[in-house]
Amino acid sequence: MKNKEGILIKIMRYSFSIRGVLDEHNLQAVNRIATNGFMYLWIYTAVTNIVMLFLPEAMITHSFTIGFVFINILVGFGGVSMYINHQVSKMKLNYQEVSKDE
């Protein structure tokens, strides 16, 4: 009989590439990892936006803004995703154990 998982758990499994068993202990660890990733992203966004507000108007050109957006995308999707994937790999949740019978 298969365990019924909520939609949030399915999304977390898919986006974090979790293939192993997601028991209560592992679920708490994944929630901690996701919360840490969110907090890093939130702090980064807050700091960079505050810095952007205080930059001189002459410095904020079109190409500067495009670069700012590009760096935010890299940090947001690349940096935080790498952090989460690294932590999930450390917990070995992205590996599925297979027995000889299977």
How much is the mean pLDDT over the chain? 83
For the stretch 41-87, pLDDT in tens is 999 999 999 999 999 988 889 999 999 999 999 998 888 888 988 88
Exposed e or buried b per residue across 18-54, where buried means at least 16 C-beta atoms within 10 angstroms of its C-beta: beeebeeebeebbeebbeebeebbeeeeeeeeeeeee
Name the residue with higher pLDDT: 101 or 72: 72
3-state helix/strand/coil string of 15-51? HCCCCCCCCHHHHHHHHHHHHHHHHHHHHHHHHHHHH
For the stretch 6-54, pLDDT in tens is 788 788 788 777 876 677 888 888 889 889 999 999 999 999 999 999 9
Domains of the chain: which residue ranges?
Answer: 7-90
Q: If you search the block for the tokens 């995703």, which residue do you land on?
A: 81
| 89 — pLDDT class (breaks 50, 70, 90) | confident
